[in-house]
Amino acid sequence: MDFCLRVPFFWQCYFLSKLELTHIILSKNIQICYLLKSEVFSQMLMKEGLIAIKKLDIKCIGDAQQVDQYFQILSEALLKFETPQIPTLITLMNMSDGANPELHYAIGIPGTMSNALESFSLLISGILKAFSSLAHATHSTIHGGIFPIIEQHKKKIESKIPRIENSIQKYQNLKHAMMELNTPSFSLCNEFALMTNNLLKSNTSVDRNLYQAKFNEVLDFRKGLHKSRYQLLNLAQTVVDSVDNDVKDCAKFYKTSNSTIKELLTWYKGLYSDISNQLCTLAKDLTDKSHKIDWESDFNLYVKENKMMHYDITDLEFIPINTSNPAFYGIDTTIKVNIAPVYPISMALVIEDYIACGLNETSCKKGKNILLMEDVDDDWCYVMNPNTFITGFVPSLCLKKISNTFGIVIREIPNDSSISIGSFVAILNEDNDKNHFLVETTVKQQINIPKALVGITYR
C-alpha cells in the first residue's frame, strides 16, 4: 500500500510492460490489436485467398478454352453439310440405265421415288443447318461474351494481387519492428519489478535510492520510445484500413463473379434447352413423315390423286379347269392336303401372369394349368390353352412342369362324369400302383384312374 501511494498512477501503468502496448492499441482501435496479435487472420484471409483466386482464374480460363475449342470444331465440321452432298437414289438410277424418273414408282410411296427422297433430303438438310446455326451462335457468344468477362475478371484479380502481397509484407515488417522495439524493455522492466518486490521487503535508504535510479532509467527509456510507438500505431492503422478495403473489394468481386457464373450457367441451360426443343421438333417431323410411308394409306392417296375409280381396275376372270375332259381320265383331281395333327406333350402350372404383347404370343393366368406343345428348355415355350385351344408362346419362367409323363383318356371312366374321353391328363406316379395312375386334369383335379383307360402319349 505504501508503494502504491508513493508511485503515481501514471507511472504504475509503465510497470505493466507486457500489457502496455495492448492497452494503447485498444484505446485507439480494436482492429489494430487484433492485427498485431493474430497471425492466423493474415494467413487465412490473405495468403489462402490469394491462392484461391489464382486457382479460380486458371480453372475458368481452362474451361473456357475447352468449350471454345469444342464449338469451333463443331462449327467448322457442320459448315460442310449446309447443302446435301449425297446424290439422291433417283440420280444414281438415271446414271446407271438412263431411265425416265417418272417411270420408277415406289410401292408405298405416293408419286415417284424422287419425290420421296427429295422430302427426306430437305429434312436432313434442315437438321444439319439447325446444328450449324447453333454452333455458330454458341461460338460467337463465347468469343463475344464469355472471354471478355473472364479477361476482365483476370485483370481485376491481377490488380488486387500486388496490393494484397504489399499488405502482407507491411504486416510482417510492422510485427518485426514492434518486437524489436519492445525487446530491450523486457529485461529492464523485469529488473524494475524485482527491485519493487525487494523494496517492499526491505525499505532502507539505499534500496530507495537504487529504486529511484532504476525508475528514472525506465522513465527515460519509455520517453524515448514514445515517438516510435506513435509512428508504429499510425502505420498499423494504415495497414488495417488497407486490408479492410482489400477484403471489401474481394468480397464484392466474388459476389460479382458468382453472379456472372450463375448467368453463364443459366445461358448454357437455355442454350441446351433450345437445342433439345429443336431436335424434338425435327424428330417429330421425321417421325410424322416416316409414319406416312404406309402401303395401304399411300396407295389410297395415290388412287385419289389420280382420280381412279373402282371400275377402272377389273379382276381377272376365273376360268375353272374342266376336269371332265377325257384328258383327265384316270387322274384323281381331288387334292388332299395331309396336315399332321399337333398334340400337347405335357402339362404345366402357370406360376406368373403374362399378357401377350407380341406376334405369336398368348396370355396365361397364374394358378391355371396349361398344355405344353414342347419342352420347357428355352426362354420361350409353345403352349396351348386347354379351354380355347389357342396356341402361342409364353416365357418359360412363367411355367412349372407338372409331370414328365403325359396321356389321354381313351375310354369312359365308370361312375365318374368329371373326366370325359379325350381329356388330357398329367400322370403323377406311373409305377406306384400296378393297376391305377394318379393323374391331374387341366382343371387341377387329381384322381386315380385305371391304367387301362389311359393312353400314354409322351414320357
> Which range (59-73, 121-135, 383-397) has the least confidence?
59-73
- The pLDDT of residue 56: 58
| 207 — pLDDT class (breaks 50, 70, 90) | low
- The pLDDT of residue 53: 56
- Topology agreement, domain 38-301 and domain 342-402: no
- The pLDDT of residue 13: 37
Domain borders along the chain are 38-301, 342-402, 404-458
Q: Who wins on pLDDT, 39 or 429?
A: 429
| 101 — pLDDT class (breaks 50, 70, 90) | very low
Say if residues 160 and 250 touch (Cβ distance below 8 Å): yes
CATH value of 38-301 in 1.10.10, 3.40.390, 1.20.1550, 1.20.1270: 1.20.1270
Distances (CA, A) of 309 to 111, 212, 306, 312, 458: 18, 138, 9, 5, 59
- The pLDDT of residue 57: 58
The overall average pLDDT reported for the chain is 67
Cell of 194: 524485482
> Which range (136-150, 249-263, 422-436) has the least confidence?
136-150
Span 51-75, mean pLDDT?
Answer: 59
- The pLDDT of residue 82: 44
Span 20-39, mean pLDDT?
Answer: 40
Sign of the Cα pseudo-torsion (447, 450, 455, 459, in order): positive
| 266 — pLDDT class (breaks 50, 70, 90) | confident
- The pLDDT of residue 220: 67
Percent of all residues in the chain with a pLDDT value above 70, rounded to a whole number: 43
Say if residues 425 and 448 touch (Cβ distance below 8 Å): no
Sign of the Cα pseudo-torsion (374, 376, 378, 380, in order): positive
Q: Which residues contact 312 (CB under 8 A, 6 or more apart)?
A: none
The CATH code that applies to domain 342-402 is 2.30.30.40
| 10 — pLDDT class (breaks 50, 70, 90) | very low
| 85 — pLDDT class (breaks 50, 70, 90) | very low
Q: If residue 400 lies in a helix (H) or strand (E), which one and from where to where? A: strand 399-401
Measured CA to CA, the distance from residue 273 to residue 264 in angstroms comes to 14
Q: Which residues contact 320 (CB under 8 A, 6 or more apart)?
A: none
Whole-structure pTM value: 0.30
3-state SS class at 380: strand
Cell of 452: 387301362
| 347 — pLDDT class (breaks 50, 70, 90) | very high
Cell of 312: 377402272
**CA max distance for the chain:** 173
Q: Which range, 36-45, 205-214, 390-399, 426-435, is most confident?
A: 390-399
Q: Which residues contact 94 (CB under 8 A, 6 or more apart)?
A: 101
Q: Who wins on pLDDT, 219 or 110?
A: 219
Q: With a cut of 70, say whether residue 289 has pLDDT above it.
A: no
| 369 — pLDDT class (breaks 50, 70, 90) | very high
Q: With a cut of 80, say whether residue 370 has pLDDT above it.
A: yes
Span 425-448, mean pLDDT?
Answer: 84
| 9 — pLDDT class (breaks 50, 70, 90) | very low
Q: Which range, 239-243, 326-330, 373-377, is most confident?
A: 373-377
Q: Which range, 85-99, 273-287, 386-400, is most confident?
A: 386-400
The third-level CATH classification (topology) of the domain covering 404-458 is: SH3 type barrels. (2.30.30)
- The pLDDT of residue 416: 72
> Which range (244-258, 293-307, 414-428, 437-451) has the least confidence?
293-307
Span 271-282, mean pLDDT?
Answer: 74
- The pLDDT of residue 190: 66
Exposure string over 124-162, b if 16+ CB within 10 A, otherwise e = eeebbebbbebbeebbeebeeebeebbeebeebbeebee
Percent of all residues in the chain with a pLDDT value above 90, rounded to a whole number: 5
Q: Who wins on pLDDT, 168 or 313?
A: 168
Q: With a cut of 90, say whether residue 350 has pLDDT above it.
A: yes
Q: Which residues contact 323 (CB under 8 A, 6 or more apart)?
A: 331, 333
